[in-house]
Amino acid sequence: MSINPSGWKPEMGADETAEVVTFTGNRALMLEEPLLFEYSDFGDTGVDFPPAPVVAPRLGGLDRNRPIGLPGLSEPQAVRHYTRLSRQNYAIDLGLFPLGSCTMKHNPRLNEKMARLPGFGDIHPLAPVSTVQGAFELIDLVGTWLKTLTGMKAVAMSPKAGAHGELCGLLAIRSALEARGDARSVVLVPESAHGTNPATAAFCGYVVENIPATAEGRVDLEALKARLGPDIACMMITNPNTCGLFERDMIAISEAVHAAGALVYCDGANFNAIVGRVRPGDLGIDAMHINLHKTFSTPHGGGGPGSGPVVFSEALAPFAPLPFVEQQSDGSFILVEEETAGDYHAQSFGRMAAFHGQMGMFVRAAAYMLSHGADGLRQVAEDAVLNANYILRRLDDVLDAPFGKSGPCMHEALFSDDGFPEGFSTIDVAKGLIDEGFHPMTMYFPLVVHGAMLIEPTETEGKAGIDQFIGALRSVAERARAGDVSLKAAPHFAPRRRLDETLAARKPVLAWKEPVQAEAAE
Ligand SMILES: *Cc1c(COP(=O)(O)O)cnc(C)c1O
Q: Which pLDDT value is given to residue 12?
A: 47
Percent of the chain surpassing pLDDT 70: 93
Q: Ligand 1 centre from 196 Cα, in Å?
A: 7
Ligand 1 binding pocket includes 272 (Cβ within 6 Å): no
Is the model's pLDDT at 407 over the cut of 80?
yes
Sign of the four-CA dihedral 506, 511, 512, 514: negative
Ligand 1 binding pocket includes 163 (Cβ within 6 Å): yes
How many CB atoms are located within 10 Å of the residue 401 CB? 21
Is the model's pLDDT at 16 over the cut of 60?
no
- Check whether domain 381-506 has CATH 3.40.50.300, yes or no: no
How many CB atoms are located within 10 Å of the residue 66 CB? 9
Average pLDDT, whole number, for the chain? Answer: 91
Q: Hey, which residues does 155 pair with through a beta bridge?
A: 311
Cis peptide before 240 (omega within 30 of 0): yes
Q: pLDDT tens across 301-337, in order?
A: 766 789 999 999 999 999 999 999 999 999 999 999 8
Cα maximum dimension of the chain = 77
Is the model's pLDDT at 346 over the cut of 50?
yes
Q: How confident is the model at residue 503 (pLDDT cuts 50, 70, 90)?
A: very high
**Residue among 200, 265, 267 whose CB has most ligand 1 atoms within 8 A, to mutate:** 267
Using CA atoms, how far residue 500 sits from 321, 488, 497, 505, in Å, is 45, 13, 10, 9
- Taking the C-alpha atoms of residue 335 and residue 408, their distance in angstroms, rounded to an integer, is 45
Q: Roughly how many angstroms between the first and final C-alpha of the chain, as a whole number?
A: 23
The domain ranges of the chain are 110-367, 381-506
Q: Which pLDDT value is given to residue 299?
A: 86
Ligand 1 binding pocket includes 269 (Cβ within 6 Å): yes
Q: pLDDT tens across 203-212, in order?
A: 999 999 999 9
Q: Which pLDDT value is given to residue 514?
A: 53
3-state secondary structure 67-96: CCCCCCCCHHHHHHHHHHHHHCCCCCCCCC
Q: Ligand 1 centre from 76 Cα, in Å?
A: 37
Q: Which pLDDT value is given to residue 35?
A: 84
Q: How confident is the model at residue 18 (pLDDT cuts 50, 70, 90)?
A: low
Please name the residue whose Cα sits nearest to atom 6 of ligand 1: 162
pTM score of the predicted model: 0.89
Ligand 1 binding pocket includes 442 (Cβ within 6 Å): no
Q: Ligand 1 centre from 119 Cα, in Å?
A: 30
Q: Which pLDDT value is given to residue 511?
A: 61
Task: Please check whether residue 359 is in contact with residue 132, taking contact to mean a CB–CB distance below 8 angstroms.
Answer: no
- Write the CB contacts of 120 (distance below 8 Å, at least 6 apart in sequence): 114, 135, 138, 359, 360, 363
| Candidate CATH numbers 1.10.1740.10, 3.40.640.10, 3.40.605.10, 3.10.450.50; the one for domain 110-367 | 3.40.640.10
3-state secondary structure of 513: coil
Please name the residue whose Cα sits nearest to atom 7 of ligand 1: 162
Please name the residue whose Cα sits nearest to atom 4 of ligand 1: 162
Q: pLDDT tens across 54-63, in order?
A: 888 888 878 7
Torsion of the alpha carbons at 369, 146, 151 and 344, rounded to the nearest 10: -150
Chain centroid offset of residue 517 CA: 40
**Residue among 97, 101, 102, 196 whose CB has most ligand 1 atoms within 8 A, to mutate:** 196
**Residue among 101, 294, 300 whose CB has most ligand 1 atoms within 8 A, to mutate:** 101
Q: Ligand 1 centre from 236 Cα, in Å?
A: 13
Is the model's pLDDT at 459 over the cut of 70?
yes
